[in-house]
Amino acid sequence: MKLAFRRFMNLVPGNGKLIVGWDSPQVRDVVASMGRKLFTQLETFGTSDARWQAREIDYSESMTRFRVFREGQQWGEFRTSLIGEFNVLNCLAVVGAADAWGIEHKAIAHALATFKSVSRRCEVRGEVNGIIVIDDVAHHPTAVRETLSALRLKYKDRRIIAVFEPRSWSSRLAVFQDEYANAFVPGDYVVISRVFDAHRAAEMGGVLDAAKLSDDIAAHNNPAFAITDLDEIVRSLSAELRSGDVVAIMSNGGFGGIHQKLLEALDATQPHSLAP
């Protein structure tokens, strides 16, 4: 992977910019291996020890706010509806890139403040009785951890419920078995669904063990359950959820329409007044 990025960096023209996330040791290794060739093209961004820095990050349920410093001097204040530190860093990369293109500060701030993200990235699918149901395509350990950590920052005083379907090729294999156990630590209550098309996954190697994964997550003092049937997941969650909970449903597929099924099940449990 590092070789691929070195090759990619070599494509940057002499008058171009190379904008790199300086918080990553792997990125620093790749840049160091390029020598001083890219020195004049390099723009680093991160939370510390970078030319562009994000500081004083304030997470709330409405907007994420942060200050941007360039070479130690405050450059501007920004806000975004995106959540999590990884999205603040994404915004910071955009600030550096936009500045390199000569885009005015006000235009950058307006664009970030009005950007509504893309579908299936912490997308709120609905809210019933104070219970928020979120759809996210997180399907590998890093994405799961960052998504749950971001929700933890945004919904500070709420219970985070994680529902995960191992569906992508990588998530179905046992190679990430141990990493997944740590990835779910930011959650308060975890449900692991069956491994999608486990038979085909078995042909590629060892299959993720959902039951073992739930046991490993529970070892971190978080309630965790492996439930194979989709309707049973909906029934179990409907009985467990309470007002204020945030449900993060993570899969890179449709997951059998679980989002709408859960919302409908929650709505059916609400007391409805009779029409006069």
Tell me the torsion sign for CA atoms 254, 86, 216, 198: positive
The mean pLDDT of the chain is 90
Q: Is the pTM for the entire model greater than 0.75?
A: yes
Whether residue 276 is predicted with pLDDT greater than 60 in this model: the reply is no
Please check the confidence at residue 24 and state whether its pLDDT lies above 60.
yes
Give the strand pairing for 73-80 and 123-128: unpaired
Q: How far from chain centre, in Å, is Cα 247?
A: 14
Q: Is the predicted pLDDT of residue 59 greater than 70, yes or no?
A: yes
> How far, in Å, CA of 126 to CA of 17, rounded?
41
Task: Tell me which of 93-107, 173-187, 229-243 is least confident.
Answer: 173-187
Residue 39: the pLDDT is 65
Rounded to whole angstroms, the Cα distance separating 246 from 157 reads 10
* Residue ending a domain, choose from 84, 114, 144: 114
Is the domain of 106 the same as that of 13? yes
Per the structure, the count of domains in the chain is 2
| pLDDT the model gives residue 37 | 63
Structural domain range at position 61: 2-114
Average pLDDT over residues 46-67: 92
- Domain co-membership, 206 together with 263: yes
More confident residue, 215 or 121: 215
